[in-house]
Amino acid sequence: MPETDHRARHVAIIMDGNGRWAKKRHLPRVAGHRAGVEAVRKIVRAAGDLGLEALTLYAFSSENWKRPEEEVSDLMGLMKRFIVSDIDEFAANDVRLKIVGNWRALAPDVVALIEDALARTAGNKRTTLAVALNYGAQDEIVRAARAAAGEGAITAEAIEAHLDTADLPPLDLLIRTSGEVRLSNFLLWQAAYAELYFTDRLWPDFTPADLAAALDQFARRERRFGGL
- Is 86 in the active site? no
Catalytic residue, candidates 5, 18, 49, 64: 64
For residues 49-66, one letter each, b for 16 or more C-beta atoms within 10 angstroms of the residue's C-beta and e for the rest, the string is ebebbbbbbbbbbbebee
**Length of the chain (residues):** 228
**With respect to ligand FPP, which residue has the nearer C-beta, 160 or 199?**
199
| 12: contact with ligand FPP by CB under 6 A | no
| 121: contact with ligand FPP by CB under 6 A | no
What does each C-alpha distance from 50 to 18, 19, 123, 177, 226 come to in angstroms? Answer: 24, 28, 21, 19, 28
Report, in Å, the least distance between residue 64 CB and ligand FPP: 6
For residue 56, give the nearest of 169, 160, 142, 197 by alpha carbon. Answer: 169
Which stretch, 32-40, 144-152, 168-176, 220-228, contacts ligand FPP (CB under 6 A)?
32-40
Q: Please pick, from the candidates 11, 30, 43, 79, the single residue that binds ligand FPP as defined by CB under 6 A.
A: 79
Cβ-contact 37, 82 below 8 angstroms: yes
| 136: contact with ligand FPP by CB under 6 A | no
Q: Which residues bind ligand FPP (CB under 6 A)?
A: 15-20, 33, 36-37, 40, 57, 59, 64, 78-79, 82, 131, 203
